[in-house]
Amino acid sequence: MLLAPLAGAWADAVRKNVLMGRMNALKALAWLGLDGWLPTTALLPAFAAVLALYALAAWCNRRIPSRPARRALPLRDWPALWPRFWRDNARLWRDPLGWLSLAV
């Protein structure tokens, strides 16, 4: 599969996003606990629903295993990295769904 090498990096990104989401949820709860201003609308139930969905997503993602790097590149080999970068970049642009990630 063309995008298989990116699966480990994707899992790491998901893990980091879950951690950031948890931190944002804690900040939001702290804001509410410090008498944060909320209008008298349906905002609080909607916020609670979004927070519950976020907590459910974080709970589902807690078991994503950590994957070590397949190969470590030597830091002194910068000239060899550029051809690999351009080759992989071109491969990603040719991928039917890879262009979407690059365009964002």
User: Which amino acid appears at position 68 of this protein?
Assistant: P
Q: Judge residue 78's burial from the number of C-beta atoms within 10 Å of its C-beta, 0-12 exposed, 13-18 middle, 19 or more buried.
A: exposed
- pLDDT tens sequence across 9-66: 666 777 777 777 777 777 777 766 666 555 566 777 888 899 999 999 888 888 777 7
Question: In the prediction, which pLDDT does 52 show?
Answer: 93
Q: Domain segments of the chain: what residues?
A: 8-65
Higher per-residue pLDDT: 104 or 58: 58
Measured between alpha carbons, how far is 22 from 15 in angstroms, rounded to an integer? 11
User: Please, which pLDDT band fits residue 1 given cuts at 50, 70 and 90?
Assistant: very low
What is the pLDDT averaged over residues 83-95?
Answer: 85
